[in-house]
Structure 1
Amino acid sequence: MCRHLAYLGPEEPLGAHLVRPPHGLYRQSWAPRFQQHGTVNADGFGVGWYASGDPVPARYRRAGPIWADLSFADLARVVRTTCLLAAVRDATLSGADAEAAAAPFASGAWLFSHNGAVPGWPGSLAPLTGTLSATDLLSLEARNDSAFVWALVLARLRAGDAEGQALADTVREVAEAAPGARLNLLLTSGDSITATTWGDTLWYRTEPGRGTVVASEPYDDDPLWHEVPDRTLLVASRTDVTLTPLKEPGENSAPAPSKEPRT
C-alpha cells in the first residue's frame, strides 16, 4: 500500500507539504502512522505540479526511495506551486518498469495516483481489457495494477465523464471484477481534487487562506484534519469539500452528497 497527497491553494514550495511537516510524505516513506498494508514505501516516488500559466503539469519521478534523492530535496525547497500531487510507492515485487511504475501518472492536465492493490492481478482484470482500445492498452505507462486502473479512469475522462463520475464508476467496475481490491484513487487537473476511499484511509484539511490538502494520512497534528469514511467519493476545491457515499457493486442508487462546512 502506498501513501499519497494532493494540495490545492496559495502558492507554496513543494516541501511545505511533502518534506517540512513532522509526518510529511517524506517521513511516511519509512514511518507511516496510519498505513494498514505494507510497512516501507521505498519502491519509487513521484511528484507532479503546475507552473503558473501552463495547464500541463511537470513530473519528477524516481525508482528509489525519496530519502535517498538529494536532488529532490533541492527541488522541494525552491519549486513553488498552487497545486501538486505526490506519492511514495510501497515496497513490492521487483519489476522492470522502474520509475514508470511510480505515481503520479499523467495525461494532459491530469495527475493520478492509486493507493491500494488489486488481488489476482493481472488475471482478475483481464475481462476489463475489452473496455479499452488497443491504443489505450499499448499506451500503459507501466505493467502494474495502478497503471491499468489509470487507463480505465482516463478512458472515461476522454469520453467526457466528470472527474468524480470517472473515479466512482472505475472503482465499482474494478471492485466487482476483483473483490477485496483496495482502491483509494486521487486525481487533479490543477483546479480541484477528486478522490475515493475504498479499503484504506484518507484525510483532508481545508481552511480559507491555507487551501485544501487531501492525503492518505495527516502530516501533522492540526485539529482541522478530518477522516473520510470508507466507500466515499471526495471532491474538493480550495475552500470546500463534498463527500458522497460510493455505491457497492450491484447497488442501484446512493445517498445525495453532503457538503462539508468551511472551517
Structure 2
Amino acid sequence: MCRWMAYQGNTVYLEELLFEPDHSLIHQSLSARKSEVTVNADGFGLGWYDEREEPGLYHEILPAWSDCNLKSLARHIRSNLFFAHVRASTGASTARSNCHPFAYKNWLFMHNGQIGQYESLRWQMDRWIPEHLYTYKRGSTDSETIFLLMIANGLEDNPHQAITTTLNQILDLMSAKGIEEPLRFTSMLSNGSDLWAIRFSSDEHAPSLYYKRFSEHIVIGSEPLDLSGDGWNQVPSGHIMKISDLSFDSFPLFA
C-alpha cells in the first residue's frame, strides 16, 4: 500500500517534512511501519501551492530515496500547503502518469488503497467519466478514475457529497458484479485552501491515517512522521476530516 502525507500551515521548505523527521515520508518509502507493504518503490510525486492558483507537480518513477532531483527540489521549494506520495503499485504500471498526486484546475488528490477486482470494473467506470473530463485522464490507476468521477459528481461545489456519491457508485457496481474483495480508500483532497482527509473501507481493515496539530501547522499522513508517534491521532474509519486554517472537523462519511 502507498504512503503519503499532506501539510498545511506556515510556509516551509519541503525538505523539513520530507527528509528531516526520523520517520519522514522518505524513510517510510524504505521502511513503512503501518502497512503490509514495507517498501514503496514504484514512483513518487509532489504537489504544492504557491503564488499561482493551480498547484505545481513533480512525478518520478525512481524510488524516492534514490532521486537526487527530489532532494534538491525539496531544499528549494517553499509552500504553506503541499502533498507528497510514495507509491506501491497494486497492479497499474510504474509510469509518471500513474504517480500521485493528480491535479485538476486548482485541485489535488492522492490516494492509498484499492478497488477489489478493479480490472473487471474498469470498462464501466471509465464510461461514467464525462467526455469533457476524460481528456484529463493520463494513466491507468483506479485512483485517477476515482478523482475524475468525484469531479463529475460535483467536487468543486460540494466535496462531501461528491465523495460519498462516488464511493456509493463503486460499491453498488461491485455488489452488482458479485465482487467480495473490499474497497479500501484513504485519500486527501485540496482546493488550495481547504483539505479533506478520508478514511474508509468496505471491510474492517481501513488503511491507516494519522494527523497531528502543531502550533503553526497540521500534518496528515499514512503514518506519524516520528518513530515515537506521540501526539498523533488516527482518523476514525468511515470518517471524513475537513482541515481549514489550522482547524479541523471530523464527521461520519455517510452521515
TM-score normalised by L of structure 1: 0.86
Are positions 1:39 and 2:38 aligned together? yes
Unaligned runs of 5+ in 2: 175-179, 201-205
- Distance, in Å, in 2 between the alignment partners of 1:107 and 1:138 is 11
Are positions 1:200 and 2:207 aligned together? yes
Superposition deviation, residue 138 in structure 1: 4.1
- Distance, in Å, in 1 between the alignment partners of 2:28 and 2:164 is 27
Residues 213-228 of structure 1: matches in 2 within 5 Å? 213-220=219-226, 221=228, 223-228=230-235
Residues 100-249 of structure 1: matches in 2 within 5 Å? 100-157=97-154, 160-178=156-174, 180-198=182-200, 199-209=206-216, 211-220=217-226, 221=228, 223-247=230-254
Q: Cα deviations across residues 146-184 of structure 1 (Å, max 9, x unaligned)?
A: 1111111122246x4322322232223223333511111
- Distance, in Å, in 2 between the alignment partners of 1:77 and 1:129 is 38
Superposition deviation, residue 236 in structure 1: 0.8
- Distance, in Å, in 2 between the alignment partners of 1:240 and 1:141 is 34
CA contact (8 A) 1:85 1:188 kept: no
CA contact (8 A) 1:203 1:217 kept: yes
CA contact (8 A) 1:43 1:92 kept: no
CA contact (8 A) 2:3 2:25 kept: yes
- Distance, in Å, in 2 between the alignment partners of 1:54 and 1:138 is 23
Q: 1:71 aligns with which of 63, 69, 72?
A: 69
- Distance, in Å, in 1 between the alignment partners of 2:83 and 2:92 is 24
Change (3 A) 1:24 1:225: same
- Distance, in Å, in 1 between the alignment partners of 2:196 and 2:92 is 30
Superposition deviation, residue 225 in structure 1: 1.3
Superposition deviation, residue 39 in structure 1: 2.8
Runs of 4+ in 1 over 3 A off after TM superposition: 91-94, 125-130
- Distance, in Å, in 1 between the alignment partners of 2:197 and 2:172 is 19
Unaligned runs of 5+ in 1: 248-253, 255-263
CA contact (8 A) 2:92 2:140 kept: no
Change (3 A) 1:48 1:119: same
Q: What is the RMSD computed on CA atoms of the aligned residues?
A: 1.8
Identity of aligned residues (%): 30
- Which SS does the other structure have where 2:30 is aligned? coil
CA contact (8 A) 2:211 2:221 kept: yes
CA contact (8 A) 1:104 1:111 kept: yes
TM-score normalised by L of structure 2: 0.88
- Which SS does the other structure have where 1:122 is aligned? helix
Change (3 A) 1:115 1:6: same
